[in-house]
């Protein structure tokens, strides 16, 4: 590595996005956030959707900020996003409409409709993907069932990471890790499952052949360079475009490390293990585990769990009611002072997907379970956090039962690392060591894949070695597992 390499990662989540500059030099990777922005969707004409034009404008502003601060030269640009949502592109290259939000109500009832054409067990055997009502296959099926004219007008379907890569480069692609979340991909062949698509009557012509993480799409479009001051010719690279794929690639472990699991903690919690091949069995189906694509040919065997979305929505409700900003640190401090173990709610309840009033829903769920409803903000947040930790406990045990092993360490990565109360609860509930960090795992994984594409790093193990040297980690040991054991009695 004879010179510094400079890569820009756009990490887009369901609530916010960042433009993060990564500098790789002397086997160390340093990060600087050069731009932060909101990504929240909007509801227009009764449809919950993503404001693509505004997010695109923020991407351009992120490039401009990077140029102002550090000059016009970059070795690559990559975009990672959430999964399953998509945009439809016409033959002339135009985006036909804002992509719909995965929490839009159009997805209701689509799983049951799909199972009338292909039984649930056959869908899982074909794809190995967890059943979530917003998976791309059900979103696409809802458009077909409604007779949407968009399907006839479209030439191609681009998942969100691919869509923003297209807007930056003008090149359409379908990156494998995000495609795997659609529940239309065969995890063994890593291509579209034509039999499933045919049985559901979906338009196969819209789907591009998947490409691997690290594929170079092409140079940034000239008008973007003229607008931002970026040097012409900077390549746009498809990282693990699914944000969890990028995050898991950045878990700071070595190949010979003891058996570990990872927990990507943010709006969603994704808890699982990294495998070399898919694991599809009656037990994994019963526990609703998923086999999603990873970087370096890996499989992310995991379960999607409602995450800090519960706290985010509580915060949003309280801010609306009070008309004042409220930070997460304040809510966590209030939760820490609240009494412990007063109520645990069922995080498999679909009502948590998009409630109008999250605090009221949590209170109602507590009463339904036979608990006294928490009244204060701190008590409500503590209920949410303890429910999450308890769900992590049961999910980790199910993971070990399915794989026939014993996890010895849990790596927590992502923004949830900053919630130290939840990290300690997780160590106590699971009864194992928790290693927390890095916070910016997704950006690190995004940049690491770009560096692999630029031949600045030689594979996944080399990337993780650099990340391990470049980040600080915090360890949590179990202190009170007995209290969590008592909750199961």
Q: How confident is the model at residue 15 (pLDDT cuts 50, 70, 90)?
A: confident
Please give the share of the chain, as a percent, with pLDDT higher than 90: 96
Is the CATH number 3.30.420.40 carried by domain 251-437+458-489?
A: yes
- Shortest CA distance to 345 belongs to which of 365, 360, 374? 365
Please determine, for residue 255, whether its predicted confidence score (pLDDT) is greater than 70. Answer: no
Average pLDDT, the chain: 96
pLDDT at 466: 96
Contact indicator for 65, 142 with CB cutoff of 8 Å: no
Please determine, for residue 342, whether its predicted confidence score (pLDDT) is greater than 60. Answer: yes
pLDDT at 489: 67
At 46, phi and psi to the nearest 5? Answer: 80, 5
Overall fold of domain 5-243: Nucleotidyltransferase; domain 5 (3.30.420)
**pLDDT tens for each residue of 364-411:** 999 999 999 999 999 999 999 999 999 999 999 999 999 999 999 999
Angle separating helix axes 52-70 and 160-169, nearest 10 degrees: 60
pTM, two decimals, is: 0.93
Is 243 among the residues known to form the active site?
yes
Mean pLDDT over 468-474 rounds to 95
Contact indicator for 448, 466 with CB cutoff of 8 Å: yes
Q: How confident is the model at residue 50 (pLDDT cuts 50, 70, 90)?
A: very high
Please determine, for residue 353, whether its predicted confidence score (pLDDT) is greater than 60. Answer: yes
pLDDT at 230: 98
Contacts of 8 (CB under 8 A, 6+ apart): 19, 20, 21, 22, 34, 62, 63, 66, 74, 76, 77, 78
Exactly one of 11, 193, 243, 428 is catalytic; which is it? 243
**Is residue 285 left, alpha or beta, with left meaning phi > 0 and alpha meaning psi from -120 to 50?**
alpha
pLDDT at 268: 92
Q: How confident is the model at residue 305 (pLDDT cuts 50, 70, 90)?
A: very high
**pLDDT tens for each residue of 276-304:** 999 999 999 999 999 999 999 999 999 99
> What are the domain boundaries of the chain?
5-243, 251-437+458-489
**b/e per residue, 446-456, with b = 16+ CB within 10 A?**
bbbbbbbbbeb
Please determine, for residue 424, whether its predicted confidence score (pLDDT) is greater than 70. Answer: yes
Please give the share of the chain, as a percent, with pLDDT higher than 70: 99
Please determine, for residue 212, whether its predicted confidence score (pLDDT) is greater than 80. Answer: yes
Mean pLDDT over 10-34 rounds to 95
pLDDT at 19: 98
Residues in the chain: 489
Please determine, for residue 256, whether its predicted confidence score (pLDDT) is greater than 70. Answer: no
Q: Do domains 5-243 and 251-437+458-489 have the same CATH topology?
A: yes
What letter does residue 340 receive in the DSSP assignment? S
């Amino acid at each position: 590595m004879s010179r510094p390499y400079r890569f820009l990662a756009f990490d887009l989540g369901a609530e916010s996005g960042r433009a993060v500059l990564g500098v790789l030099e002397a086997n160390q990777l340093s990060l600087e956030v050069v731009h932060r922005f909101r990504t929240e969707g909007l509801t227009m004409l009764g449809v919950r959707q993503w404001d693509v034009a505004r997010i695109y404008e923020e991407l351009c502003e992120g490039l401009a900020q990077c140029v102002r601060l550090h000059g016009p030269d970059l070795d690559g640009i990559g975009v990672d996003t959430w999964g399953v949502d998509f945009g439809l592109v016409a033959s002339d290259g135009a985006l036909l409409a804002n992509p719909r939000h995965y929490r839009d109500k159009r997805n209701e009832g689509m799983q049951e409709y799909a199972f009338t054409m292909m039984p649930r067990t056959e869908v899982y055997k074909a794809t190995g993907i967890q059943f979530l009502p917003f998976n791309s296959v059900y979103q696409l099926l809802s458009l077909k069932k409604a007779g949407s004219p968009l399907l006839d007008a479209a030439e191609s379907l681009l998942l969100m990471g691919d869509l923003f890569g297209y807007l930056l480069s003008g090149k359409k692609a379908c990156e494998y890790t995000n495609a795997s979340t659609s529940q239309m991909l065969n995890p063994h062949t890593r291509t579209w499952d034509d039999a499933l698509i045919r049985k559901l009557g979906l338009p196969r012509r819209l789907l591009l052949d998947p490409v691997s993480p690290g594929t170079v799409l092409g140079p940034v479009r000239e008008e973007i360079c003229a607008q931002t001051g970026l040097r012409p010719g900077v390549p746009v690279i498809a990282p693990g475009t699914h944000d969890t794929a990028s995050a898991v690639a950045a878990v700071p472990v070595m190949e010979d490390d003891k058996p570990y699991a990872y927990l990507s903690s943010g709006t969603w919690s994704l808890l699982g293990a990294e495998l070399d091949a898919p694991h599809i069995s009656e037990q994994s189906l019963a526990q609703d585990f998923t086999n999603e694509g990873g970087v370096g040919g890996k499989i992310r065997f995991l379960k999607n769990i409602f995450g800090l979305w519960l706290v985010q929505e509580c915060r949003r409700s309280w801010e609306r009611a009070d008309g004042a900003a409220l930070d997460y640190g304040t809510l966590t401090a209030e939760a820490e002072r609240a009494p412990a173990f007063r109520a645990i709610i069922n995080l498999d309840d679909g009502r948590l997907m998009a409630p109008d009033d999250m605090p009221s829903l949590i209170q109602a769920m507590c009463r339904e379970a036979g608990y006294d409803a928490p009244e204060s903000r701190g008590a409500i947040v503590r209920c949410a956090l303890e429910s999450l930790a308890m769900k992590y406990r049961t999910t980790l045990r199910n993971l070990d039962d399915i794989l026939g092993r014993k996890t010895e360490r849990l790596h927590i990565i992502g923004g949830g690392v900053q919630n130290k109360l939840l990290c300690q609860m997780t160590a106590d509930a699971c009864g194992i060591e928790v290693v927390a960090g890095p916070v910016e795992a997704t950006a690190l994984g995004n940049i690491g894949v770009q560096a692999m594409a630029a031949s600045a790093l030689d594979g996944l193990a080399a990337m993780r070695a650099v990340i391990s040297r470049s980040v600080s980690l915090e360890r949590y040991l179990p202190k009170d597992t007995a209290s969590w054991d008592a909750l199961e009695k």
